Amino acid sequence: HYSVFPGMPRWPVGTQELTYAFNPGNGLSDTVKGVFAAAFARWAEVTSLTFRETSSYLGADIRIGFFSGDHGDGEPFDGSLGTLAHAFSPTNGRFHLDADEDWVVSGDVTRSALSTAVDLESVAVHEIGHLLGLGHSSMEEAVMFPTISSRKKKVVLSQDDITGIQYLY
């Protein structure tokens, strides 16, 4: 079953559009940006929320960046595997990914030769769930289930994820 964070933080009632921006220092390719756009679209499909990229990093509701190790927010990353990414409950908007993962951004992670390969879209869909206010789900098929194996792709929202997000929005 889905969960929400204590106190049920959510984006304000009436929020229609949320903006997101990429850390300018990362210089991300259009391919990588497209993976995030696809991940946002999965949540937009089942809510009345829309997501729009903006170039204003500091002005965006959701700020996405890749960082290595200690990156100044008291929650250091740990190299390959372990913590992959962290995002915070509404309306924090911080969405950080561990730059030291072997991210798979195009192609099929299940066929990667690297045992440490991690599918970027799968992690993005999960973290966006947190950014919107979902905690973890006890249902293994849910995108919000708290574990995923490396070299797995899980991007399709389960009915449990949909029920959870529709409870919030």
**Residues with catalytic function:** 127
Spatial separation of the C-alpha atoms in residues 86 and 50, rounded to whole Å:
22
Q: Of 42, 63, 96, 130, which one interacts with ligand TQI (CB under 6 A)?
A: 130
Q: Which is nearer to Zn ion, 50 or 135 (CB)?
A: 135
122 binds, among ligand TQI, Zn ion, none (CB under 5 to 8 A by kind): ligand TQI
Site for ligand TQI in 77-96 (CB under 6 A): 83-86
Cα distances from 116 to residues 32, 123, 152, in angstroms, run 19, 14, 11
Q: 15 with 44: CB under 8 angstroms?
A: no
Sign of CA dihedral 58, 99, 103, 136: negative
Alpha helices for the chain (secondary structure H): 30-44, 120-132, 159-168
**Beta-sheet strand order (sheet of 50-53):** 50-53, 17-22, 62-67, 94-98, 85-87
First vs last C-alpha separation in the chain = 17
Q: Of 10, 126, 133, 137, which one interacts with ligand TQI (CB under 6 A)?
A: 126
Instruction: Tell me, residue by residue from 110 to 129, as one string, x for binding to Zn ion by CB under 5 A and - for no binding.
Output: --------------------
CB of 119 to Zn ion, least distance (A): 15
Site for ligand TQI in 16-75 (CB under 6 A): none
Q: Which is nearer to ligand TQI, 20 or 103 (CB)?
A: 103
CB of 56 to ligand TQI, least distance (A): 25
Cα distances from 119 to residues 48, 91, 152, in angstroms, run 27, 26, 7
Q: Of 18, 122, 150, 162, which one interacts with ligand TQI (CB under 6 A)?
A: 122
123 binds, among Zn ion, ligand TQI, none (CB under 5 to 8 A by kind): ligand TQI
Site for Zn ion contains 73 (CB under 5 A): yes
